[in-house]
Chains A and B, each alone.
Chain A
Amino acid sequence: MIEVENVTKEFGSVTALKGVSFRVERGQAVGLLGPNGAGKTTIMRVLTCFFPPSTGVAKVCGMDVIRHSLDIRRRTGYFLESAPLYVTMSVSDFLFFVCGVKGVKRSHRKNEVSEAIELCGLQHVGNRLIGNLSKGYKQRVGLAQALINQPQVLILDEPTIGLDPEQVFGIRKLIKVLAGERTILLSSHILSEVSMLCNKIIVVNKGRTIAEDTSKNLNTILQGNILTKVQIEGVPRLVIRELEKVKGIFKVSTHEKRADNILEYLIESDKSLDFCKALCEIAFSNNWILRGVQTLKLSLEEIFLKLMAQEEKKN
């Protein structure tokens, strides 16, 4: 649905994008992650045909952004960061205006506007001037205008920035409803949000894609050794000695005391070891009671920071 191949974008002497490449398949919800100035908004502006790439190919719905700009804009809904809107118009007037410019037939406009208002929770503010709305409601109006005319592709630039927790929850719920029906490309600084809403993550830094994969796969690639927390009822000295004998277990340390004879251990083991099987075998042979097993995964923040660090090392 979205194909970006070696796209660069230059603004005079400044190169905002340096050979970005990624793909988004139909129905996917993909998160674009990156620090400030990474090039996320520039990528989105290229895909929404606000300006063309300097070099490279960008396609949306199989159409080139330079040659088929109008067709792409008919199929795309774009939510801009900071939601620029016509503040002297009322919410419903603005949405009717959007219907007009997006070419919605007159007979369908009322339905389109009602649907967008309902989806975005704007029922109580339909007749109010946009300029008098809170930031959260303005963002919802921004989202509503992106949904007019049922676009196949939704491009959302920081849709939850600056909102209170209740509003953030509402917008996320809406995005979850829309994902699957449409193809969504969403950028955010909030890593947990991207992890929650998106099938795939694209990490961008200084105008380059540095990773493109699911959160799970990125975790597997970057994690290195596996860390596991295990609660064992047994003599601590013996537990540590027996575990360290197992081939593939590198380090065992005590983490926390849970009860009289129950300690929590932090075990570092090789990725190739079937840790659970090895643990069960050794626990059975030593008559230990296993009270809990938890594999520690890298948080998305840790994945992101590791990727940034790797990129810095390369440069």
Chain B
Amino acid sequence: MKSCSIMKREIVQYFSAPYFYVLMTIFLVLSGYFFYTDTVLFNLMNFRGTTSLTRGLWAYYFNDLRFVFILIMPLITMRVFAEEKKLGTTIELITTYPLKDIEILTGKVLACLVVFVFMLSLSFINVIIIGIIWDFGEIASVMSGYLCIFFLGFALISCGVFVSSLTDNQIVASLGTMGLFTLFWFLTWNEMIVSEEGLKILKRLSLFDRTFDFFRGIINSKDVVYFMLFSFYFLFLSLQSLGSRSWKGMK
């Protein structure tokens, strides 16, 4: 499949770029730090052994992991299209090959997903450590948490790829993506100035408010549907952005 060729090329590009290893280091340091602090907090709270791992540790850990990805994801997605547009017009090279826009987009998004899952999988060491020290009894809720992070990551990737398709400057792409993520994060913060009805609507639109049930081990179908719709909406916008060269300037 042609998307596979694009995906392979993109993955090789990521793993041969020094900045990617810096990014992985930042991710591991931050996720490790959050894991350490959340474990210490759990230890303090679990004085009589009454707090479950899910509520006392994993919910906080996955909560903190979201913020790490708000920071990391724009730096993964910024180069997806912006680099091609800048790099001596390789965008012209690739769009004059017999490739459909959706094949180009699929290949690039899959590459981002592979890279993201690879990074995320490195944090699984924390689960193994807790499992050895404590137990693997609440592994289902851990998996639910990771599933949520995966859906969130897919949504953030779609958003980041769309912003990258709008510009030829990677800095602008990463800052724009970070700005969008922050907006979705802050959407429900100002509860006092919004009416009750308004708050209900904002909560439904908020990406990050949909993660709490997952972290408690509950997979809510409406949250899964929301994540999927969010992701595919931005992928649709990316496709339109990519295809705009076919109709711009036409009479």
Q: Chain A residues in contact with chain B, CB under 8 A?
A: 9-12, 45, 48-55, 66, 69-70, 73-74, 76, 78, 80, 82, 84-89, 93, 97-98, 100-103, 145
Contacts and interface: CB of A to CB of B under 8 A. Distances in A.
Interface in B168-186: none
Interface in B96-111: 96-100
B53 to A, nearest CB: 43
Given A84-B92, A101-B94, A101-B99, A50 B245 contact: yes
A52 B90 CA distance: 19
B12 interface: yes
B96 A85 contact: no
A78 B90 CA distance: 12
**Which residue among B6, B245, B249 has the maximum number of chain A CB atoms within 10 Å of its CB?**
B249
Contacts of A51: 245-246, 248-249
Top 4 nearest A-B pairs by Cβ distance? Answer: A100-B5, A84-B88, A73-B98, A74-B98
A183 B248 CA distance: 29
Contacts of B5: 97, 100-101
A85 B90 contact: yes
Nearest to B245: A51
Given A50-B92, A86-B90, 6 more contacts: A66-B246, A69-B246, A84-B93, A88-B16, A97-B9, A101-B2
B246 A52 contact: yes
Task: Give chain B's interface residue range (CB within 8 Å of chain A).
Answer: 20 to 34
B89 interface: yes
B97 A49 contact: no
Nearest to B91: A84
Interface string B1-21: 010111011001100110000
Interface in B226-247: 245-247
Given A51-B248, A82-B88, A100-B4, A89 B12 contact: yes
A97 B236 CA distance: 26
B251 A102 contact: no
A49 B96 contact: yes
Contacts of B88: 82, 84-85
Given A50-B92, A89-B12, A98 B97 contact: yes
Contacts of A102: 97-98
A24 to B, nearest CB: 18
A148 B8 CA distance: 19
Contacts of B93: 78, 80, 84-85, 145
A52 B247 contact: yes
A84 B2 contact: no
Nearest to A94: B9
Given A100-B2, A100-B4, A78 B96 contact: yes
Nearest to A48: B96
B87 interface: yes
A84 B93 CA distance: 7
Nearest to B16: A88
A53 B95 CA distance: 16
Given A45-B92, A48-B96, A80-B89, A101 B13 contact: no
B250 interface: yes
Interface in B15-59: 16-17
Contact of A84 (B9, B90, B245): B90
Given A85-B93, A88-B16, A101-B5, A70 B100 contact: yes
Contacts of B13: 86, 88
